[in-house]
Amino acid sequence: MRSNRVPSPAQVKADIVLTGDGSAFLRMRGSFANRCATEINRLALHQCFSMKKRFFIVAFIAFAIWFVYGAYRGLTDVEIGESLQSVDWLPDAATNVSYYRSYLNTAYEFDISEREFREWSRWDLTEITKPVQISRYLAFSTTLPEEPSNPTRAEIEALALAIAKRGVTIRDGLYCGYLQGNGGGVWVGYDRDSGRAYYQSAPR
């Protein structure tokens, strides 16, 4: 237990020290002076370590906020384009480009000749022997209208058309598709009848 006992005069020795300008200050010597110096040093070190600790805590919190915000932006950022003449991430031969791009889903389509599509494609394409379906960019960039409780014939037809536009069925052309173990995958196809390529992917 630390003692708060006042030191005796024998424990405290002092000198009057004159400075160059004639002023003076008191210099203490002995065990009490050493104890004072030790306590001051301890408090200074404690304050220094406390400031470093607070700095690292604040820095860690700032990094965590930045990381979460960056991850959120990466997961929620969406880029949409429709009927564009060209884009810089597709071959120069690709025209009339429409797309939806995000982390969760990517889909795009464009006009291109079969020869140029084959040259651009990095997938193992096969001839289509039975109709295949690929989701279009509209499946992600648009929402379906709500179905009324008592729909009219026109409303039913409009809903059916909206659903049909969300995908494409290719009967003659090229296709490659694979499903990953986590539910994601890539589906790409070329429709000879329309001269149009389609691509859709999802990470999971």
**Which residues touch 22 (CB under 8 Å, ≥6 apart)?**
none
Q: Which of 34, 45, 25, 38 is nearest to 7 (CA)?
A: 34
Backbone angles phi, psi at 136, to 5 degrees: -95, 175
List of the chain residues with pLDDT < 70:
1-37, 39-41, 43-76
Shortest CA distance to 112 belongs to which of 89, 95, 135, 132? 95
Please report the pLDDT score of residue 96 as a whole number. 98
Task: Using alpha carbons, select from 201, 198, 161 the residue that is nearest to residue 178.
Answer: 201
Q: Which two tokens stand for residue 201?
A: 């992917």
Coil, strand, or helix at residue 201?
strand
Host H or E run for residue 174: strand 173-179
Neighbours of 137 (CB within 10 A): 24
CA 57/CA 147 separation, integer angstroms: 53
Q: What is the pLDDT of residues 106-122, one digit of tens each?
A: 999 999 999 999 999 99
Whole-number pLDDT of residue 55: 60
For residue 143, which amino acid is it? T
What is the structure's pLDDT at 62? 59
Alpha carbon 169 to its chain's center: 33
**To which H or E segment does residue 74 belong?**
helix 31-76
Q: Which two tokens stand for residue 96?
A: 């009339």
